[in-house]
Amino acid sequence: MATVTVKNELVLGRNDYPQVRATARPRPWERRYGRALVASDTAVLVAVLAFVLTVAPHPRLVEFPRFDLLLPVIGIAAAVFIGILALLSLTGSRTPRIVGVGSREYRALIQSTFLAFTTAALLAYVFGVEGLHFVLAYGLVGTMVALVLSRWVWRRWLVTQRRQGRMVNRVLLVGSEESVAATSRDLKRTPAAGLLVVGACTPSGRIADYIPGTDIAVSGSVDSVIEALRRVEADTVLISSANELSSATVRSLSWELEPGRHHLIVAPSLTDIGGPRLHTRPVAGLPLVHVETPRYTGGKLHAKRAFDVLAAGALIVVLAPVLIFVALAVQFTSPGGVLFRQERIGLGGEKFQMLKFRSMYADAEARLADLTRDEGEKGNDIMFKMKDDPRVTGIGKVLRRFSLDELPQLFNVFLGDMALVGPRPPLEREVTQYADTVHRRFLVKPGITGLWQVSGRSDLDWDETVRLDLFYVENWTLTGDLTILLKTVKAVLKSEGAY
């Protein structure tokens, strides 16, 4: 049968169905990084298992009673080692699209390790093998911790490279000018994802022009994506708005992309939806995306409250000397009380008294109106924040720099008015200026820390603060809370946006 060769290695046959030749050619950085992860994982596993066999009590040989067989423990450890390496590949823990950002990479590590060791434990139980419990227990914990720490170090290195424009996917955006500009801004906020925008195709297709409000050059029209892809040397097509492209056009475009070398990403109109709430389900050829509605009742909420009580109680006990020292410092450095009580709006719009160590002079509230009129807030029309606030005392500046003034809020958490992680607790005068959608932040308890604090704190403008708070309200998880708490420590030590 005669065939006709067309662009991009497509072959048309008798039925005119595209038959794409399998020419998978990963980018050089993907191959190098993947090999580096294989070498790193191997070295980590060898080191951990060798250490476990050294410190964990175990017999040199273990007996399989049913088979009248003796095997050295090191042989069983080698089998577990091979199993983990195989599972790390099968679970896609080194897949380029997941490394560098998100939790999927870490979940794959934990799942692979847990499955390998639990399988070994189950087989030992079934075949009546004794003496392996210490080796398996130590190995499970040690391997999980070591692999996660190793990948965390690699991720820090990869993120640094990506911030400098290396080891990235070169992205060509396709869609309306408005959607291209919005998508570009979102991608710039997360350079760790490794998606570098190098051009755009829009309905107008104005060559040598730029998308308004951005530095993105227009590389062609939505009808000349493949040509534009080659022109800007991109390897990824990201459709930011599908209104300009029919389903047949998108399908044809996916056929024309070179497999293994080019990628196609379609951005849905949904924004600020967390990954755990999204589930894909192909039905009759339609790639349906299921979006779970957020829930604010049930076991997950009770678990969050239990964690808050236990953690806040433990922190109050551990930090008691610090609390006493700060209280004395506040008391003896300026006139006024030790604690500053301020009415804030919490869960369901209920008012509560939020506690802080006093970091301002006693007449701070009386001077607020004058400062608001004279200085205002640059970039934030609702929350009043200003650098070098003259109302802040000398010791108050130190307390604010390291967020020590927030410590009494642990008592608010323990009593149930607040949570460790949540939206910022607003003042009533701020709430009166809220748009209707912003009131969704009252569906959960306000927090001592939150996405707003680990993302810039007082340096954020109002729109960004609202976006982060609402994203948390819609997508919170216990795992996410733990991540935010860890990031809070880093943000406090660096004093980012603290004034």
In a shared domain, residues 435 and 305: yes
pLDDT tier for residue 9 given thresholds of 50, 70 and 90: very low
The three-class DSSP label of residue 97 is coil
Question: Is residue 388 scored above 80 in pLDDT?
Answer: no
- Please indicate, yes or no, whether residues 361 and 490 belong to a single structural domain of this protein: yes
With respect to residue 275, please indicate whether it lies within any of the assigned structural domains. Answer: no
Give the pLDDT band (50/70/90) at residue 241: confident
Question: Residue 47 above 90 pLDDT?
Answer: yes
Whose tokens are 């910022």? That residue is 424
Boundary-marking domain end, from 269, 284, 313: 269
Mean residue pLDDT of the chain comes to 81
CATH of the domain at 197: 3.40.50.720
Q: pLDDT tens-digit profile of 419-438? A: 999 998 888 888 888 877 78
pLDDT tops 50 at residue 6: no
Burial track 162-197 (b if 16+ CB lie within 10 A, e otherwise)? beeeebbbbbbbbbbbebbbbbbeebeeebbbbbbb
For residues 96 and 33, the answer to whether their CB atoms sit within 8 Å is yes
On the question of pLDDT at 225 being above 90, the answer is no
Q: Choose one of 269, 286, 309: the last residue of a domain.
A: 269
- The residue range of the domain holding 346 is 299-494
> Does 406 lie in the same domain as 310?
yes
Kindly provide the residue ranges of all beta strands, DSSP E only, lying in 231-277, ordered along the sequence. 236-239, 263-266
Among 163, 194, 220, residue at a domain's last position? 163
Task: Report, as an integer, the average pLDDT of 295-299.
Answer: 74
CB atoms within 10 A of CB 417: 21
For residue 19, is it within any domain? Answer: no
Position 38 scores a pLDDT of: 95
**Same domain as 172, residue 152:** no
User: Which pLDDT score, from 0 to 100, does residue 391 have?
Assistant: 76
Under 8 Å CB-to-CB from 239, ≥6 apart: which residues?
Answer: 174, 175, 245, 250, 264, 265, 266, 267
My answer on whether 242 and 104 are in the same domain is no
Q: Helix, strand, or coil here: 58?
A: coil
Answer whether 194's CB lies under 8 Å from 162's CB: yes
Do residue 399 and residue 357 come from a single domain? yes
How much is the pLDDT for 372?
A: 59
**Amino acid found at 152:** W
Whether residue 82 is predicted with pLDDT greater than 80 in this model: the reply is yes
* 254 and 134 within one domain: no
d(CA 359, CA 398): 9
Q: Please report which confidence band the pLDDT of residue 380 belongs to, taking 50, 70 and 90 as the band edges.
A: very low
**Residue of 461 and 235 predicted with greater confidence:** 235
* Structure confidence by residue, pLDDT tens digits, 95-145: 888 888 877 899 899 999 999 999 999 988 887 777 788 888 999 999 999
Residue 286 domain flag: no
> How far from 63 is each of 26, 68, 309, 418, 484, CA to CA, in Å?
47, 7, 48, 56, 47
The answer on pLDDT for 488 being more than 80 is yes
Least confident of 47-51, 163-167, 260-264: 260-264
**Residue 15's pLDDT is what?**
38
Cα–Cα distance for residue pair 137/108, rounded to 1 Å: 19
Q: What is the pLDDT of residue 387?
A: 60
Pairwise CA distance, residues 16 & 13, whole Å: 5
pLDDT of residue 495: 62
* Closest of 402, 390, 329, 327 to residue 361, by C-alpha: 390
Nearest to 274 by CA among 482, 480, 484: 480
Reported as a pLDDT band with limits 50, 70 and 90, residue 8 is very low
Decide if 135 is inside a domain.
yes
Hey, what are 392's tokens? 């802040």
Residues 153 and 214 in one domain: no
Q: Is residue 364 part of a domain?
A: yes
Q: What is the pLDDT of residue 11?
A: 37
Of the listed ranges 155-159, 362-366, 470-474, 481-485, the least confidently predicted one is 362-366
Q: pLDDT digits over 440-486, tens only? A: 888 889 999 988 878 765 556 677 788 888 888 888 888 888 888 98
Over 60: is that where the pLDDT of 337 sits?
yes
Has residue 274 been placed in a domain? no
Half-sphere CA count of 143, side-chain side, radius 13 A: 32
- Asked if the model's pLDDT at residue 263 lies above 50, the reply is yes
pLDDT of residue 475: 80
Least confidently predicted of 41-45, 152-156, 218-222, 376-380: 376-380
Assigned token pair, 11: 């072959």
pLDDT of res. 279: 63
Query: Which stretches of 91-128 are DSSP H helices?
Result: 104-126
Q: How confident is the model at residue 23 (pLDDT cuts 50, 70, 90)?
A: very low
Q: Which residues contact 130 (CB under 8 A, 6 or more apart)?
A: 62, 63, 124
Rounded CA-CA distance 142/242 in Å is 47
Give 14 or 73, the one with higher predicted confidence: 73
- Model confidence, pTM: 0.67
Kindly tell me if the per-residue pLDDT of 12 is higher than 50.
no
Same domain, 189 and 320: no
Q: How many angstroms separate the CA atoms of 56 and 208, rounded?
A: 67
Crossing angle for the helix pair 73-90 and 28-55, nearest 10 degrees? 150
Owner of token pair 């008294």: 353
Q: What is the pLDDT of residue 96?
A: 84
Looking at residue 158, its pLDDT comes to: 93
